[in-house]
Chain A
Amino acid sequence: MKRIILLCLLLLVTPQLMGASDQYLDVTAPANKKQQIYLAPATTLSGPALPEVARELAELFLFDLNLAGPFSVAPAEAGSAGSDLVLKTAYGSSGGNLTIECRLFDPVLNRDVAAKRYTGSLKDLRRMGHAFSDEVLRVRTGQKGPFTGKIAYVSKVSGNKEVFVMDYDGFNTQRVTNNGAINLNPDFAPSGREIIYTSYKKGNPDLYRRELYTGVEARISARSGLNAMGSFSPDGNRIAVVLSKDGNSEIYLISREGKELARLTRTQAIDVSPAWSPDGNRIAFVSDRLGKPQVFVMNADGSDVKRLTTNGAYNVTPRWSPKGDRIAYARKDGNGFQIYAINPDGTQDTQLTNLGSNEHPRWSPDGRFIVFSSSRDGGEAIYVMRADGSAQSKVSRGKARDSHPTWSAAW
Chain B
Amino acid sequence: MSKKLYGCLVVLCLAAVVSGGCAKKDVVKPEEQTPATQVVPPPAPLSEGAKSTPAQTAQPVAETPAKEQAVAQETPQQGAAAQPAATALESALQKIYFNFDSADLSNEARSALSKNAELLAKQPGVSIRVEGNCDERGSDEYNLALGERRAKAARDYLVNLGVKPERISVISYGEEKPVDQGHDEAAWAKNRRDEFVIVK
Q: With a CB–CB cut-off of 8 A, which chain B residues contact A271?
A: 145
Q: Are A293 and B37 in contact (CB under 8 A)?
A: no
Given A7-B44, A174-B37, is A216 in contact with B60 using a C-beta cutoff of 8 Å? Answer: yes
Contacts of A209 in B (CB 8 A): 61
Q: CB distance A293 to B61 under 8 Å? A: no
Pick from B62-70, B106-114, B118-126 the stretch touching chain A.
B62-70
CA distance A212 to B11 in the complex (A): 29
Nearest residue in B to A112 (C-beta to C-beta)?
B4
Per-residue B-contact encoding for A175-207, CB less than 8 Å = 1, 0 else: 111110010110000010110000011111110
Binds B, one of A21-29, A51-59, A120-128: A120-128
B contact residues around A182 at 8 Å (CB): 173, 176-177
Q: Is residue A374 contacting chain B, with contact meaning CB distance below 8 A? A: no
Of the listed stretches A9-17, A41-49, A300-308, A381-389, chain B binds A9-17
Q: Are A8 and B14 in contact (CB under 8 A)?
A: yes
- Is A244 interfacial (CB-CB < 8 Å)? yes
Q: How far is the CB of B162 from chain A (nearest CB, A)?
A: 22
Residues of A close to B140: CB separation below 8 A: 184, 359, 403-404
Number of interface residues of A (CB under 8 A): 94
| Complex Cα spacing A273 to B143, Å | 11
In the complex, A272 has a CB within 8 A of chain B: yes
A161: chain B residues within 8 A (beta carbon)? 176
- Chain A residue with the shortest CB-CB distance to B46: A131
Please indicate the chain A residues that have their CB under 8 angstroms from the CB of B179 in the complex.
Answer: none
> Which chain A positions have C-beta within 8 A of B52?
191
Stretch from A30-38, A67-75, A76-84, A222-230 contacting the other chain: A222-230
Q: Nearest Cβ distance between residue A105 and chain B, in whole angstroms?
A: 11
The segment out of A86-94, A320-328, A330-338, A347-355 that lies at the interface is A330-338
Closest 10 CB pairs of A and B: A1-B21, A215-B34, A204-B72, A203-B72, A249-B145, A7-B44, A316-B139, A1-B20, A215-B39, A11-B11
> Which residues of A are in contact with B by a Cβ distance under 8 Å?
1-15, 18, 111-112, 115, 118, 120, 124, 127-128, 131, 134, 148, 161, 165, 174-179, 182, 184-185, 191, 193-194, 200-206, 209-226, 228-229, 242, 244, 248-249, 257-258, 270-273, 286, 288, 292-293, 314, 316-317, 330, 332, 335, 337, 359, 403-404, 410-411
B residues apposed to A, CB below 8 Å: 4-5, 7-15, 17-21, 23, 25, 28, 30-32, 34-48, 50, 52, 54-55, 58, 60-64, 66-67, 69, 71-75, 101, 137-142, 144-146, 148-149, 152, 170-173, 176-177
> What are 25 A-B contacts defined by CB distance under 8 Å?
A2-B41, A4-B18, A7-B15, A7-B44, A9-B12, A9-B48, A134-B47, A175-B37, A193-B54, A193-B58, A202-B66, A206-B66, A211-B61, A213-B58, A214-B25, A214-B39, A220-B64, A222-B69, A248-B145, A249-B148, A293-B101, A314-B139, A332-B138, A403-B140, A404-B140
7 more A-B residue pairs beyond the given contacts A11-B13, A178-B37, A218-B28, with a C-beta to C-beta distance below 8 A = A9-B11, A191-B52, A214-B25, A218-B62, A244-B145, A249-B148, A314-B101
